């Protein structure tokens, strides 16, 4: 597009810029059940540092989105009524966020090296910060199962890399695990130990499957069978992301897996077949379902926050 024309359009389209969404559709019938052909992608916020960890908070009637700006050390809040606000700063470089059954906000902190919970009285309390007596690396993303157990990933992205040795500074864990923490017993168990950089994770609607993304060189999502006692079996490769890496993932009510990717959001059937892609102008790091009817997809992508109406709600809360 001509530069002058682009400038003129940017003047005419203030704040929330609407763009006709671009799709790449592999399975038209299934994609049509996910997104309407005329759905529009909206940029809700821009000029942020690096956005991650969106979660929709139903606060009574009018809900709002909480998400992380990791390098700016801030949790942001977005609502249709008030736009963009600060939710918490400093955030100890918060990354992934989720809600537990009581509606409390759980947050993974990179520099805090812990998973923390925001209590109703406003106190921020440590849930877990160690495994086998050693500090966690930098918890990245978290989900809560209906039995109250807290499942989170602990890659090393939040630890500084020494430019000389190329080693992560301050790393105490021998590897990068997926953990299950039981708040009733205080016990933390490493449930997956063979990932390079475990990242987003999500349960299937019946919680019989757990999907975990590896943002390291495998660039794939694996699927595990979840036993009644919380142990995991299986672990086959569910899908591989061909643009960028998988980071945050969500499952919809029908069991499809929606993954962030370098080209936006890629949607997969429960059998792992690509249904299609929602192309986003910036590389997507995470996503969540939300909005008052649960049928808005929020996408954190580098310096911006986007949304697009979808035709299905997310699984779980």
Q: Which of 68, 93, 114, 140 binds Mg ion (CB under 5 A)?
A: 140
| Sole residue written with tokens 């682009």 | 6
DSSP lists the bridge partners of residue 247 as none
Q: Which lies closer to Mg ion via its Cβ, residue 154 or residue 247?
A: 247
| Sole residue written with tokens 């063979």 | 194
Residue 159 CB, shortest distance to Mg ion, in Å, is 15
Q: Which lies closer to Mg ion via its Cβ, residue 21 or residue 213?
A: 213
Mapped onto helix, strand or coil, the DSSP state of residue 7 is: helix
Q: Is 154 in the site for Mg ion (CB under 5 A)?
A: no
Residue 151 CB, shortest distance to Mg ion, in Å, is 14
Task: Locate 85 and state its tokens.
Answer: 């606000």
Determine how many CB atoms are found less than 10 A away from the CB of residue 275. 22
Q: Which lies closer to Mg ion via its Cβ, residue 31 or residue 152?
A: 152
x/- letters, 230..249, toward Mg ion (CB under 5 A): -----------------x--
Q: Which lies closer to Mg ion via its Cβ, residue 32 or residue 218?
A: 218
Q: Which lies closer to Mg ion via its Cβ, residue 93 or residue 199?
A: 199
Q: Which lies closer to Mg ion via its Cβ, residue 34 or residue 142?
A: 142
Reported for 279-282, long-range contacts at CB under 8 A and 24+ positions apart, including other chains, are: 279/21, 279/22, 279/23, 279/24, 280/41, 280/306, 281/19, 281/43
Q: Is 199 in the site for Mg ion (CB under 5 A)?
A: yes
Q: Which of 141, 154, 156, 252 binds Mg ion (CB under 5 A)?
A: 141
Reported for 217-222, long-range contacts at CB under 8 A and 24+ positions apart, including other chains, are: 219/244, 219/245, 219/246, 220/246, 221/246, 221/249, 221/257, 221/259, 221/268, 222/195
Q: Is 68 in the site for Mg ion (CB under 5 A)?
A: no
Part in contact with Mg ion (CB under 5 A); list of ranges 36-44, 194-202, 237-245, 301-309: 194-202
Sign of CA dihedral 105, 87, 114, 215: positive
Residue 317 CB, shortest distance to Mg ion, in Å, is 19
Q: Is 214 in the site for Mg ion (CB under 5 A)?
A: no
x/- letters, 245..274, toward Mg ion (CB under 5 A): --x---------------------------
Chain-centre distance for alpha carbon 7: 33
Calculate the alpha carbon distances from 202 to 18, 63, 71, 209 in Å. 29, 22, 25, 8
Q: Is 176 in the site for Mg ion (CB under 5 A)?
A: no
Q: Which lies closer to Mg ion via its Cβ, residue 260 or residue 296?
A: 260
Residue 82 CB, shortest distance to Mg ion, in Å, is 26
User: Which H helix or E strand runs over 10?
Assistant: helix 3-12
Q: How far apart, in whole angstroms, are the C-alpha atoms of residue 258 and residue 246?
A: 10
Binding site for Mg ion (CB under 5 A): 140-141, 199, 247
């Amino acid at each position: 597009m001509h530069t002058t024309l682009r400038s003129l359009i940017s003047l005419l389209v203030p704040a929330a810029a609407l763009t006709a969404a671009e799709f790449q559709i592999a399975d038209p019938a299934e994609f049509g059940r996910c997104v309407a052909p005329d759905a529009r992608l909206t940029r809700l916020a821009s000029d942020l540092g690096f956005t991650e960890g969106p979660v929709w908070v139903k606060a009574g009637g009018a809900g709002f989105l909480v998400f992380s700006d990791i390098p700016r050390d801030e949790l942001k809040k977005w609502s249709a009524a008030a736009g963009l606000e600060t939710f918490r700063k400093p955030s100890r470089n918060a990354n992934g966020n989720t809600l537990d059954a009581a509606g409390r906000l759980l947050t993974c902190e990179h520099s805090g090296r812990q998973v923390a919970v925001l209590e109703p009285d406003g106190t921020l309390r440590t849930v877990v910060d160690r495994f086998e007596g050693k500090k966690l690396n930098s918890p990245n993303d978290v989900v809560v199962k209906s039995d109250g157990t807290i499942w989170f990933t602990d890659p090393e992205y939040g630890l500084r890399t020494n430019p000389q040795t190329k080693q992560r500074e301050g790393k105490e864990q021998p590897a990068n695990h997926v953990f299950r923490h039981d708040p009733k017993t205080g016990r933390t168990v490493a449930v997956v130990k063979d990932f390079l950089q475990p990242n987003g994770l999500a349960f299937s609607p019946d919680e019989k499957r757990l999907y975990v993304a590896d943002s390291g060189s495998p660039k794939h999502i694996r699927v595990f069978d979840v036993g009644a006692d919380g142990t995991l079996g299986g672990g086959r490769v569910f899908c591989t992301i061909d643009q960028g890496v998988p980071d945050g993932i969500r499952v919809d009510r029908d069991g499809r897996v929606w993954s962030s990717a370098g080209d936006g959001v890629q949607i997969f059937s429960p059998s792992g077949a690509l249904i299609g892609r929602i192309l986003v102008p910036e590389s997507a790091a995470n996503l969540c379902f939300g909005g008052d009817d649960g049928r808005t997809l929020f996408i954190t992508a580098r310096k911006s926050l986007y949304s697009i109406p979808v035709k299905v709600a997310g699984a779980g809360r």
